Amino acid sequence: MAYLAAPPQPTVPQPRPSDGLRDRPEPWLFVRPGVDNPTGAVLFERDGTLIQDVACNGDPAMVHPVAGIRAALAALRGARLALGVISNQSGVARGVIGRAQVEAVQARAEALLGPVDVWAVCPHGPHDGCGCHMPDAGLVSAACRALGLPPGRVTVVAGSDTVIEAALTAGAHAIRVPTTRPTATAAGPCPPCTLTICRTAECPEEAADLLLTP
């Protein structure tokens, strides 16, 4: 008797139960098919740098791109750099949002901004011992591996010292831009990076210019 082949298993890690953290939990990785060893990559912090920061957002209708991000992404795509997004989503661990809502927000962001080569999401809380909750370096490292790139060929663009720390700890480069978080100043130049030597830019477009200027 002939048997049908079993369907391929999903490549995206599945969430683990909140009481099953005895093993080190993994980030969620969403990798676009066809990404094949790009020469370099730029990873954007999701909330406040790529899209407007809405706490624990699971509603695609609340997805609004940050000013200047479309032009920045177009310039980087024109230079054939891979693009990625990294994000702590501890609302998943708290039960405020679920995986389907995270994916819906990502899909809406791509509908507005174009394709993203890798989304790397930490769905854990800060005390879950996952190693991927920024400022730990695991999420940035996982995104780099998904793209087939060493961290030294990857730059993280972010408005949060937490994300910048994760980038630098992983061995990636970092550019700090102003964030759209409600607690941040809405206008004015970006303050200097307080962690270590890193570049700053006043907007995503300027960050792209820094990356593309010889």
Give the three-state DSSP class for 8.
coil
54: in domain: yes
How confident is the model over 11-47, as pLDDT tens digits? 333 333 333 433 678 999 999 988 777 889 999 999 9
180: in domain: yes
Neighbours of 191 (CB within 10 A): 11
| Global pTM value | 0.83
CATH number of the domain enclosing 161: 3.40.50.1000
Comparison of pLDDT for 182 and 104, the residue scoring more:
104
**pLDDT, averaged across the chain:** 85
CA gap 9, 160 in Å, rounded: 35
22: in domain: no
Count of structural domains, the chain: 1
Query: Could you give the maximum distance between any two Cα atoms of the chain, in Å?
Result: 71
117: in domain: yes
Looking at the DSSP assignment, which residues form a beta bridge with residue 42?
Answer: 83, 155
170 near 151, Cβ under 8 Å?
A: yes
What was the pLDDT predicted at 108? 98
In this prediction, residue 104 has a pLDDT band, given cuts at 50, 70 and 90, of: very high
9: in domain: no
17: in domain: no
Percent of the chain with pLDDT over 70: 80
198 near 176, Cβ under 8 Å?
A: yes
4: in domain: no
Q: What is the distance of C-alpha 206 from the center of its chain? A: 19
Residue 6 has pLDDT above 50, yes or no: no
Q: Which two tokens stand for residue 4?
A: 């049908």
Q: What angle do the packed helices 69-78 and 204-212 form, to 10 degrees?
A: 20
What was the pLDDT predicted at 179? 82
159: in domain: yes
Strands (E), 51-133: 82-88, 118-122
CA gap 41, 3 in Å, rounded: 43
How confident is the model over 41-92, as pLDDT tens digits? 999 999 999 999 999 999 999 999 999 999 999 999 999 999 999 999 999 9
Structural domain range at position 48: 28-212
